[in-house]
Amino acid sequence: MIAIYPGSFDPVTFGHIDIIERGSHLFEWVIVAVLRNPSKTPLFTVEQRLIQIRQSISHLDNVEVASFEGLTVDYAKLRKAQVLLRGLRVLSDFEMELQMAHTNKTLSDTIETVFLATSNEYSFLSSSVVKEIAKFGGSVDHLVPNHVAIDINRCYARN
C-alpha cells in the first residue's frame, strides 16, 4: 500500500521525520510530497526542501521525496496511493485535519486519510515555531537535523 505524506516542510523538523519513519513501518511505500504553493513565500525553495528531506530520511529504503502542485488527492491518484498520511499534535490540528479529510473524501472516495499522533517529545513542534526561534537568534539544533539547522542559520544570517 502506498501512502502520501503531503506538506510544506518549510523546514522539515524532527516531528516530520518521526511521522515519516513511523509511516515507513506501516506502509509498503511512503511518498513525502512537498507542495508547491505559489501563494506562499517560504523560507526555502521547493528544491532546497527536497534536498533537506532526502538527507534527513536517507536511512529509509521505502520512502521517496517528490513535489507536486494542485490538489493532494489528484496527486495521490496520479501516484496510485491509497492513503494520505497526516500527523496530529494538538486538538486544533485534529479539527483542521478532519475537515480536510472529509473534503478530500468528497473529491475521491478511494483515498483514505490515516492520522498518526505525534510522539510526545514533538507535540509542541512546528515549522513555524522553528522559524520563529531562529529568527530571533535562538538555537534550533534540537528541533531539526543538523544540516537543516545550518541552512536555517544561513538564511537568517543574511536577513
Residues with catalytic function: 16, 40, 89, 127
Q: How confident is the model at residue 158 (pLDDT cuts 50, 70, 90)?
A: low
In this predicted structure, the answer to whether residue 159 has a pLDDT above a threshold of 80 is no
In this predicted structure, the answer to whether residue 137 has a pLDDT above a threshold of 80 is yes
What rounded mean pLDDT belongs to the chain? 94
Q: How confident is the model at residue 40 (pLDDT cuts 50, 70, 90)?
A: confident
> In terms of pLDDT, which residue wins out, 92 or 153?
153
| pTM value > 0.85 | yes
> Which amino acids are annotated as binding site, given as ranges?
8-9, 16, 40, 72, 86-89, 97, 122-128
Q: If you write DSSP's letter for every residue of the chain in order, what string do you get?
A: -EEEEEE--TT--HHHHHHHHHHHHHSSEEEEEEE--TTS--SS-HHHHHHHHHHHTTT-TTEEEEEE-S-HHHHHHHTT--EEEEEE-SHHHHHHHHHHHHHHHHH-TT-EEEEEEPPGGGTT--HHHHHHHHHTT---TTTS-HHHHHHHHHHHHH-
Q: Degrees (nearest 5) of the Cα angle 99, 123, 34?
A: 60
Q: How confident is the model at residue 138 (pLDDT cuts 50, 70, 90)?
A: very high
Domains of the chain (ranges plus CATH)?
1-155 (3.40.50.620)
> Which amino acids are annotated as binding site for substrate, given as ranges?
8, 40, 72, 86
In this predicted structure, the answer to whether residue 21 has a pLDDT above a threshold of 60 is yes
In this predicted structure, the answer to whether residue 117 has a pLDDT above a threshold of 90 is yes
**DSSP-assigned beta bridge partners for residue 3:** 30, 83
Residues 80-102: pLDDT tens digits? 999 999 999 987 788 999 999 99
